[in-house]
Amino acid sequence: MTTKELDNFLMELYTVESMLKGSGETFRPQLSQDSNIASFQFQATEYCLESKGFLCSHYVDMESPAGRFIQTMKHYMEIYRSNNINRENKAMKWLYDSNIETLCQQISMLAMHAQFKDVGDIYNVSSDIQARSLNPTSVSNSLALYIYYTLLENTFIDILSYNELFVKSWYIYYENWNARCLMFRMNGNNWKNHFNGVLLE
């Protein structure tokens, strides 16, 4: 699939869903029993819609910060896709041929790494980075970029799976946030080595 084909689909979907004011409702999993986690999870469909606008923002205003960023990222994705070595990356390889459930687990994990990648000492994470890692816009953007890349590369997943991938990955991200923070710390400051060479390194 080409970026143009995927962009056309996302723009059409965004237009229709904006009018209907719905995006991914049918894919909502069970909310967490933890009310704090559930409050984040509940926002999934709102940000699923917004994420499509984010991915196509350069068609609205090429000179806006979001437009320039997306143009740069899509150009980078083409370069990344062209290097076959990246298909062997241990953290990325799951995106190429896995089923939806596995994809959602891995996409949410990669998005978590994207939030923490600037951490110097995993035992001393700044409040700013922690806040960013829970910020719905920041999480949404990371998930959207990995889902976009997955739809470009994974021939076993239909383009219509965007909403399902986003909503389920979002729920998993927030459900597992605490556990993944602990996992990062258990690996010490070598935790980033597990993500060497990923798309959003």
∠ CA 106-108-112, nearest 5°, is: 115
Mean pLDDT of the chain: 94
Rounded CA-CA distance 124/122 in Å is 5
pLDDT average, residue stretch 97-123: 96
Residue 187 in this model has a pLDDT that exceeds 80: yes
Residue 21 in this model has a pLDDT that exceeds 80: no
| pLDDT at residue 143 in the model | 98
pLDDT grade for 56, boundaries at 50, 70 and 90: very high
Taking each helix axis as running N to C, give the angle between helix 100-116 and helix 177-186, from 0 to 180 degrees, rounded to the nearest 10.
Answer: 60
| pLDDT at residue 22 in the model | 67
Rounded CA-CA distance 55/63 in Å is 14
pLDDT in tens, 64-94: 999 999 999 999 999 999 999 999 999 999 9
- Joined tokens for residue 61: 């205003």
pLDDT in tens, 141-155: 999 999 999 999 999
Burial class (CB in 10 A: 0-12, 13-18, 19+), 178: exposed
pLDDT average, residue stretch 183-198: 94
Residue 17 in this model has a pLDDT that exceeds 70: yes
